[in-house]
Amino acid sequence: MYFEISLNGVDVVMFDKKNIKQFFSYFCVGGVSALVEWTLFFLIEYFWNLQYLLAVFISFIFSTTVNYFLGRTFTFKSSSYENKKVSEFLFVFGVSALGLFFNFILMYIFVDIVGMNTNLLKTVAKICSTGIVFLWNFLSRKFLIYKESN
């Protein structure tokens, strides 16, 4: 059983065994990365009392680095970037930067518009933002960065 869609005239199988396994692997990698991000965000926001968007940025740098190495090791094992690790790393960060932009927008909406402005509620907002941006991160890696290896 599988589900197929067409992107720019190219048929893409979305729900076959390989893609489901890869998504689950990325979900686990993303889970570890998210725990790093949420923990750092909470520590920076709570103990260092930095502005929440700066805390989002700092925690993003660390979690994206963790995500890159774990994702490359467990989820996207082969790549067209085999001999271009720096290019691959920069591409991952570039695509993730758009996810960071989404995170900033969502955090602003949750904290400044909705009013989730206590330390605990900001952390809850960060968790919600991460969950929303997760799908972007997976799909961008699968179809933009590692498209030839899948």
Cα–Cα distance for residue pair 47/65, rounded to 1 Å: 23
Higher per-residue pLDDT: 1 or 102: 102
Write down the domain spans for the chain.
4-149
Both tokens of 111, joined, read 């904290």
Higher per-residue pLDDT: 8 or 28: 28
Q: Which residue has the tokens 């997760």?
A: 134
Cα–Cα distance for residue pair 121/124, rounded to 1 Å: 5
Exposure string for 21-43, b = 16+ CB within 10 A, e = fewer: ebbebbeebbeebbebbbebbbe
pLDDT at 2: 45
pLDDT at 32: 94
